A and B are shown apart, each in its own frame.
Chain A
Amino acid sequence: MADAAAPRTGLLRSNRRILLGSLSVLAFFVAWQAVFLFVPLNSLFLTKPSLMFAALVRLTMSGQVFFDLGASAAPFAYGLAASVLIGVPTGILMGRRVRVGLALDPLFTVLYASPLVALAPLVVIFLGVGVTGKTFIVFLLTVFDFVFNAYAGVRAVDPLLLNVVRSFGGAEKDLYLKVIFPSVMPYIVAGARIGVGRALIGILIGEFFAASEGVGYEIVRFGNFFALDSMFAYILVVTLIAIVLTQGVRWAERAAFPWRVES
């Protein structure tokens, strides 16, 4: 009997992260649902999980969720791509050229710390409610994640490795290709992990202020209609996407850098 029980315990033990984690999520939804057994539900102000999931199924079946996700995905991707393309070279330049670093570091630190989302209404005025405006907001919110991570990455480059490449006759180009880019890479991916979360916020903010489609737009629109079940369905969708994206980056990180020491 004890022999049969032992491996079961082992299985439970090895999966306890997932089990306990899921349990608390489940408990949260159950508690949320249960509250309304005792409290009358005023659907103008609140919703409950059963209604939320029903709305989610409805919106998924009609395809509306996918339409809005598509509308939000484009500026999300463009904004992040622009951040990588501009932020990474800027950060590397700051790290490699001391004077550029000293000149830009304070300015960028202030900008990074400031609530750039507050500029969203201005951005909408200048760039409109379309893809361009949303892209720019995402860019504003994420570019410094890449700048500062690339900057930190370059400063962490081991000078010995640069000397190794130089000693074998490597030129400036080789320093970048053989040492600087590979050692900055993990920092950029770490920047992406933070950036993905901030980009999602950027998209939502952009679509809250002015948009005609997209996930953030629907959240506000359903809110204005007091259709809280649909509004929460969209919030759930955003949450799920945030989890998938950040976990995806984590997974990609482990897959792409097998040389990193496991800590």
Chain B
Amino acid sequence: MFAQGVVGLMSAYIRGRNVNLTFRPPNRAPVRALHDFDVEVKEGEFLSIVGPSGCGKSTFLSILLGLIKPDSGELDLHGRRIDGPGTDRAMVFQEFGLLPWRTVQHNVELGLQLKGMPAAQRRNVAQHFIRMVGLVGFESHYPHELSGGMKQRVGIARALATDPEVLLMDEPFAALDAQTRDLMQVELLRIWHDTRKTVLFVTHQIDEAIYLSDRVLVMTKRPGRAKRIFAVDLPRPRDYEMRVTPQFNELKLEIWRALEDEIAV
């Protein structure tokens, strides 16, 4: 009955054990968001988390990021306890979270500035990542002058600029149209290949999860816990044709079946 293959497979790099969290909004009934949530992630791995809306998957990323403290449970990154934000982790947000009064260049520099890096060095580092995400020539543009895809490129560059060990991505492409989303997935794989970060990627889309990931974790409905983990055995580098192979579709169906019972309409 216990989620198979969730715990104890490999040398854990990120390890979450029995993570519990209940939201207690004033004047309303408490909401149990996570219930004994377990997860283990390998170094350099790309792990996606899928689950029904409100299952606590985004909440879990916020806990990993250090913005929310769980009620109980253990969370370690590389053997260090996670207790608040740290430069070893960076988040790419669904709604981009760009500062509208800052140009692309200065948005990418934000994390570096908060780290106290001198301006000249900051500029160089930011320039490197602006090139990586393909935004050369847009350095002095403001966010409102960019398309959704470009905004998220800035979001990715900003997260990578601080050189985190782990990249947390909270439905980063959900606000984009379908074609832009496909393109961004390809771009993300290229960047991931070049930077070799450990990635935790939350999404609603099974396709996206399979295409990008080494493993896909399916969560139960709220209060969320790990239900099953699927290994994706598609070779890398991935290409777009793999999305129409029988292997891909079989896995998609299997994941869908695991997810189906959790979705209430």
Query: What is the interface of chain A, defined by CB distance below 8 A to chain B?
Result: 160-161, 163-170, 174, 178-179, 182-183, 185, 257-261
Contact = CB atoms under 8 A, between A and B. Distances in A.
Interface residues of B, number: 25
B65 interface: yes
B144 A259 contact: yes
Interface in B78-95: 85-87, 89-91, 93, 95
A178 B99 contact: yes
Nearest to A174: B114
Contacts of A258: 142
A147 B65 CA distance: 35
Contact of B67 (A166, A179, A183, A259): A166
B90 A167 contact: yes
Contacts of B51: none
A261 B144 contact: yes
Contacts of B5: none
Contacts of A259: 100-102, 142-144
A185 B101 CA distance: 11
A206 to B, nearest CB: 37
B48 interface: no
Interface in B99-137: 99-102, 110-111, 114-115
A164 B162 contact: no
Given A168-B85, A168-B87, 18 more contacts: A160-B93, A160-B95, A161-B97, A163-B62, A163-B93, A163-B97, A164-B99, A164-B110, A167-B65, A167-B89, A168-B111, A168-B114, A169-B85, A169-B115, A259-B101, A259-B142, A259-B143, A261-B144
Contacts of B143: 259
Interface of B: 62, 65-67, 85-87, 89-91, 93, 95, 97, 99-102, 110-111, 114-115, 142-144, 162
A182 B90 CA distance: 23
Q: Is the interface of A mostly helix, strand, loop or mixed?
A: helix
A182 B95 CA distance: 19
Contact of B110 (A160, A163, A168): A168
B99 A167 contact: no
Interface centre among A258, A259, A261 (most CB of B within 10 A): A259
Contact of A165 (B62, B101, B114, B142): B114
B116 to A, nearest CB: 10
A169 B67 CA distance: 10
Interface centre among B62, B85, B86, B89 (most CB of A within 10 A): B85
A59 to B, nearest CB: 45
Interface centre among A163, A174, A258, A261 (most CB of B within 10 A): A163
Contacts of A160: 93, 95, 97
9 contacts: A164-B97, A167-B66, A167-B90, A168-B90, A174-B114, A178-B99, A182-B99, A182-B101, A183-B100
